[in-house]
Amino acid sequence: MLTLLSILPSIILFIVVYKGDKIEKEPSKLLWKLFWFGALTTISAMILEQVLSVVVLEFTYEESLIYELIDNFIITALIEEGGKYFVLKKCTWKNKAFNYTFDGVIYAVCSSLGFATLENIFYIMGDSIETAIMRGLLSVPGHVIDAVYMGCYYGMAKYEEVHGNTQGSKSNLKKAIFVPVLIHGFYDFCLSTHYTIFLVVFFVFEIIITVKAVKKFKALSKEDMMILNEETQTMADTALAGNGAEVKE
Protein backbone atom coordinates (compact mmCIF):
# COMPACT_ATOMS: atom_id res chain seq x y z
CA MET A 1 0.00 0.00 0.00
CA LEU A 2 2.74 2.48 0.98
CA THR A 3 4.77 1.57 -2.11
CA LEU A 4 1.77 2.32 -4.32
CA LEU A 5 1.17 5.64 -2.54
CA SER A 6 4.83 6.58 -2.98
CA ILE A 7 4.75 6.19 -6.78
CA LEU A 8 1.13 7.16 -7.53
CA PRO A 9 1.70 10.97 -7.38
CA SER A 10 4.52 10.65 -9.94
CA ILE A 11 2.32 8.63 -12.30
CA ILE A 12 -0.55 11.13 -12.08
CA LEU A 13 1.70 14.16 -12.52
CA PHE A 14 3.52 12.62 -15.47
CA ILE A 15 0.22 11.90 -17.25
CA VAL A 16 -0.91 15.50 -16.70
CA VAL A 17 2.38 16.93 -17.99
CA TYR A 18 2.60 14.48 -20.90
CA LYS A 19 -0.83 15.56 -22.13
CA GLY A 20 0.48 19.12 -22.30
CA ASP A 21 2.83 18.13 -25.13
CA LYS A 22 0.28 18.62 -27.89
CA ILE A 23 2.37 18.92 -31.06
CA GLU A 24 4.80 16.00 -31.04
CA LYS A 25 5.20 13.32 -28.37
CA GLU A 26 8.73 12.54 -27.20
CA PRO A 27 10.44 9.15 -27.66
CA SER A 28 9.53 6.85 -24.77
CA LYS A 29 13.10 5.49 -24.66
CA LEU A 30 14.45 9.00 -24.00
CA LEU A 31 11.83 9.71 -21.33
CA TRP A 32 12.62 6.48 -19.49
CA LYS A 33 16.33 7.28 -19.71
CA LEU A 34 15.71 10.67 -18.09
CA PHE A 35 13.54 9.09 -15.41
CA TRP A 36 16.01 6.37 -14.41
CA PHE A 37 19.08 8.61 -14.45
CA GLY A 38 17.08 11.20 -12.52
CA ALA A 39 16.31 8.51 -9.95
CA LEU A 40 20.02 7.70 -9.61
CA THR A 41 20.74 11.30 -8.65
CA THR A 42 18.70 10.68 -5.49
CA ILE A 43 21.48 8.39 -4.28
CA SER A 44 24.31 10.74 -5.24
CA ALA A 45 22.45 13.63 -3.60
CA MET A 46 22.01 11.69 -0.35
CA ILE A 47 25.74 10.95 -0.19
CA LEU A 48 26.82 14.51 -1.03
CA GLU A 49 24.31 16.03 1.39
CA GLN A 50 25.59 13.86 4.24
CA VAL A 51 29.22 14.73 3.54
CA LEU A 52 28.62 18.46 3.16
CA SER A 53 26.46 18.60 6.30
CA VAL A 54 29.34 17.19 8.34
CA VAL A 55 31.75 19.72 6.82
CA VAL A 56 29.46 22.71 7.41
CA LEU A 57 28.78 21.66 11.01
CA GLU A 58 32.50 22.02 11.68
CA PHE A 59 32.06 25.78 11.26
CA THR A 60 28.58 26.40 12.65
CA TYR A 61 25.88 24.69 14.71
CA GLU A 62 22.77 22.95 13.46
CA GLU A 63 20.07 25.31 14.73
CA SER A 64 21.74 28.53 13.57
CA LEU A 65 20.20 30.64 10.81
CA ILE A 66 23.38 30.46 8.71
CA TYR A 67 23.32 26.66 8.85
CA GLU A 68 19.65 26.60 7.81
CA LEU A 69 20.42 28.83 4.82
CA ILE A 70 23.42 26.77 3.73
CA ASP A 71 21.63 23.48 4.36
CA ASN A 72 18.48 24.35 2.41
CA PHE A 73 19.79 26.46 -0.45
CA ILE A 74 23.16 24.80 -1.11
CA ILE A 75 23.39 21.38 0.52
CA THR A 76 19.85 20.40 -0.48
CA ALA A 77 18.49 22.59 -3.29
CA LEU A 78 21.67 23.14 -5.31
CA ILE A 79 22.77 19.51 -5.11
CA GLU A 80 19.34 18.08 -5.96
CA GLU A 81 18.46 20.52 -8.73
CA GLY A 82 22.03 20.36 -10.00
CA GLY A 83 21.77 16.58 -10.34
CA LYS A 84 18.49 16.81 -12.23
CA TYR A 85 19.94 19.51 -14.50
CA PHE A 86 23.07 17.44 -15.19
CA VAL A 87 20.94 14.49 -16.34
CA LEU A 88 18.71 16.80 -18.39
CA LYS A 89 21.62 18.44 -20.21
CA LYS A 90 23.60 15.26 -20.85
CA CYS A 91 20.64 13.27 -22.16
CA THR A 92 18.84 15.84 -24.31
CA TRP A 93 20.84 18.91 -25.39
CA LYS A 94 22.16 17.39 -28.64
CA ASN A 95 19.29 14.99 -29.22
CA LYS A 96 17.32 15.52 -32.46
CA ALA A 97 14.07 14.88 -30.59
CA PHE A 98 14.61 18.19 -28.80
CA ASN A 99 12.96 20.27 -31.51
CA TYR A 100 10.25 22.26 -29.66
CA THR A 101 10.60 24.57 -26.67
CA PHE A 102 8.01 22.67 -24.63
CA ASP A 103 10.16 19.55 -24.95
CA GLY A 104 12.42 21.13 -22.35
CA VAL A 105 9.57 21.02 -19.83
CA ILE A 106 8.78 17.36 -20.59
CA TYR A 107 12.44 16.39 -20.21
CA ALA A 108 12.95 18.36 -16.99
CA VAL A 109 9.79 16.87 -15.46
CA CYS A 110 10.90 13.31 -16.31
CA SER A 111 14.29 13.84 -14.69
CA SER A 112 12.68 15.44 -11.64
CA LEU A 113 10.03 12.73 -11.29
CA GLY A 114 12.75 10.09 -11.36
CA PHE A 115 14.40 11.84 -8.42
CA ALA A 116 11.12 12.52 -6.62
CA THR A 117 9.84 8.94 -6.97
CA LEU A 118 12.89 7.25 -5.47
CA GLU A 119 13.18 9.92 -2.78
CA ASN A 120 9.53 9.38 -1.92
CA ILE A 121 10.01 5.62 -1.64
CA PHE A 122 12.95 6.15 0.74
CA TYR A 123 10.98 8.60 2.90
CA ILE A 124 7.76 6.59 3.05
CA MET A 125 9.32 3.14 3.52
CA GLY A 126 8.29 2.00 7.00
CA ASP A 127 6.42 5.25 7.69
CA SER A 128 2.72 6.07 7.76
CA ILE A 129 -0.06 6.62 5.24
CA GLU A 130 -0.34 10.21 6.53
CA THR A 131 3.29 10.86 5.52
CA ALA A 132 2.65 9.36 2.09
CA ILE A 133 -0.38 11.59 1.56
CA MET A 134 1.40 14.76 2.71
CA ARG A 135 4.41 14.09 0.50
CA GLY A 136 2.11 13.25 -2.40
CA LEU A 137 0.36 16.60 -2.02
CA LEU A 138 3.43 18.75 -1.35
CA SER A 139 6.86 17.24 -2.04
CA VAL A 140 6.35 15.48 -5.37
CA PRO A 141 4.35 18.39 -6.90
CA GLY A 142 7.08 20.67 -5.54
CA HIS A 143 9.68 18.86 -7.63
CA VAL A 144 7.44 19.18 -10.69
CA ILE A 145 7.02 22.92 -10.11
CA ASP A 146 10.82 23.27 -9.98
CA ALA A 147 11.01 21.25 -13.20
CA VAL A 148 8.49 23.46 -15.03
CA TYR A 149 10.71 26.49 -14.40
CA MET A 150 13.85 24.54 -15.28
CA GLY A 151 12.32 23.25 -18.49
CA CYS A 152 10.94 26.65 -19.47
CA TYR A 153 14.37 28.30 -19.45
CA TYR A 154 16.07 25.19 -20.82
CA GLY A 155 13.79 25.09 -23.86
CA MET A 156 14.38 28.79 -24.54
CA ALA A 157 18.14 28.29 -24.15
CA LYS A 158 18.08 25.69 -26.91
CA TYR A 159 15.94 27.93 -29.12
CA GLU A 160 18.32 30.87 -28.66
CA GLU A 161 21.40 28.74 -29.40
CA VAL A 162 19.98 27.32 -32.61
CA HIS A 163 18.99 30.80 -33.78
CA GLY A 164 22.43 32.25 -33.13
CA ASN A 165 21.89 34.08 -29.84
CA THR A 166 24.72 32.55 -27.81
CA GLN A 167 24.44 35.08 -24.99
CA GLY A 168 20.69 34.53 -24.69
CA SER A 169 21.25 30.77 -24.58
CA LYS A 170 23.83 31.04 -21.78
CA SER A 171 21.58 33.39 -19.81
CA ASN A 172 18.63 30.99 -20.01
CA LEU A 173 20.78 28.00 -19.06
CA LYS A 174 21.85 29.84 -15.91
CA LYS A 175 18.21 30.59 -15.09
CA ALA A 176 17.32 26.94 -15.73
CA ILE A 177 19.40 25.94 -12.72
CA PHE A 178 19.29 28.95 -10.41
CA VAL A 179 15.54 29.68 -10.49
CA PRO A 180 14.61 26.11 -9.42
CA VAL A 181 17.35 26.23 -6.75
CA LEU A 182 15.90 29.42 -5.27
CA ILE A 183 12.33 28.06 -5.30
CA HIS A 184 13.40 24.70 -3.86
CA GLY A 185 15.67 26.29 -1.26
CA PHE A 186 13.02 28.73 -0.04
CA TYR A 187 10.44 25.91 0.13
CA ASP A 188 12.72 23.80 2.35
CA PHE A 189 13.91 26.78 4.40
CA CYS A 190 10.37 27.73 5.38
CA LEU A 191 9.62 24.18 6.54
CA SER A 192 12.87 23.63 8.43
CA THR A 193 13.04 26.80 10.53
CA HIS A 194 11.59 26.89 14.04
CA TYR A 195 9.53 30.06 13.59
CA THR A 196 5.76 29.82 13.13
CA ILE A 197 5.72 32.83 10.82
CA PHE A 198 7.66 30.84 8.23
CA LEU A 199 4.94 28.18 8.14
CA VAL A 200 2.46 30.91 7.23
CA VAL A 201 4.90 32.22 4.62
CA PHE A 202 5.31 28.68 3.30
CA PHE A 203 1.59 28.14 2.66
CA VAL A 204 1.22 31.55 0.99
CA PHE A 205 4.34 30.87 -1.09
CA GLU A 206 3.10 27.39 -2.02
CA ILE A 207 -0.24 28.73 -3.27
CA ILE A 208 1.38 31.54 -5.29
CA ILE A 209 4.13 29.43 -6.85
CA THR A 210 1.71 26.61 -7.72
CA VAL A 211 -0.72 28.99 -9.45
CA LYS A 212 2.14 30.67 -11.35
CA ALA A 213 3.61 27.31 -12.37
CA VAL A 214 0.26 26.03 -13.68
CA LYS A 215 -0.27 29.24 -15.66
CA LYS A 216 3.28 29.06 -17.04
CA PHE A 217 2.82 25.40 -17.95
CA LYS A 218 -0.42 26.10 -19.83
CA ALA A 219 1.10 29.09 -21.64
CA LEU A 220 4.21 27.12 -22.65
CA SER A 221 2.05 24.26 -23.91
CA LYS A 222 -0.16 26.60 -25.94
CA GLU A 223 2.69 28.73 -27.31
CA ASP A 224 5.09 25.86 -28.07
CA MET A 225 7.69 26.98 -30.64
CA MET A 226 9.65 24.87 -33.11
CA ILE A 227 13.37 24.97 -32.39
CA LEU A 228 14.67 23.14 -35.44
CA ASN A 229 13.13 23.60 -38.86
CA GLU A 230 14.60 22.01 -41.99
CA GLU A 231 17.10 24.83 -42.57
CA THR A 232 18.35 25.12 -38.98
CA GLN A 233 18.57 21.30 -38.66
CA THR A 234 20.83 21.15 -41.74
CA MET A 235 22.99 23.94 -40.34
CA ALA A 236 23.21 22.23 -36.94
CA ASP A 237 24.16 18.87 -38.49
CA THR A 238 26.81 20.52 -40.65
CA ALA A 239 28.30 22.34 -37.64
CA LEU A 240 28.39 19.15 -35.57
CA ALA A 241 29.94 17.18 -38.43
CA GLY A 242 32.57 19.89 -38.89
CA ASN A 243 33.48 19.61 -35.21
CA GLY A 244 33.77 15.84 -35.47
CA ALA A 245 30.80 15.35 -33.12
CA GLU A 246 28.25 12.58 -33.39
CA VAL A 247 24.76 13.60 -34.45
CA LYS A 248 22.49 11.78 -32.01
CA GLU A 249 19.15 10.27 -32.89
Q: Count structural domains, the chain.
A: 1
The rounded Cα 44 to chain-centroid distance in angstroms is 16
**Is 245 contained in some domain?**
no
Chain centroid to CA 96: 21
- Confidence band for 235, pLDDT divided at 50, 70 and 90: low
In a domain, 22, yes or no: no
8-22, 187-201, 212-226: which range is least confident on average? Answer: 187-201
pLDDT reading at 114 higher than 90: yes
236 within some domain? no
Q: Which domain holds residue 75?
A: 2-17+27-224
According to the model, what pLDDT value does residue 129 have? 84
Task: Give the rounded percent of residues in the chain with a pLDDT score beyond 90.
Answer: 78
Average pLDDT over the chain, rounded to an integer: 90
98 occurs within a structural domain:
yes
Summarize the confidence of residues 143-169 as an average pLDDT. Answer: 96
Closest by alpha carbon to 14, among 115, 98, 159?
Answer: 115
